[in-house]
Amino acid sequence: MKVVNSLKSMKGRHKNCRIVRRKGRVYVINKTNPRFKARQG
């Protein structure tokens, strides 16, 4: 999992990315490519 400043740029890298908020942190997750994850905060 990458920790990034801008999740918008990470979301643009793959078409199936979703932005999810959990416990005050923002995550990018991807169902089709489960290795592709990022978090902010």
Per-domain residue ranges of the chain: 2-40
Q: What is the pLDDT at residue 9?
A: 80
Strand stretches in 1-41, DSSP E: 2-3, 17-22, 25-30, 38-40
Distance (Å, whole) CA 27 – CA 14: 14
pLDDT at 41: 78
Q: What is the pLDDT of residues 6-35, one digit of tens each?
A: 777 877 777 888 888 999 889 888 888 888
To which residue do tokens 């908020």 refer? 21
The alpha carbon dihedral of 6, 7, 12, 14 has a sign of: positive
What pLDDT score does 16 carry?
82
User: Taking a C-beta distance cutoff of 8 angstroms, is the pair 40, 5 a contact?
Assistant: yes
pLDDT value at position 33? 83
pLDDT value of position 29: 87
The model's pTM: 0.71
Write out the two tokens for 29. 């997750």
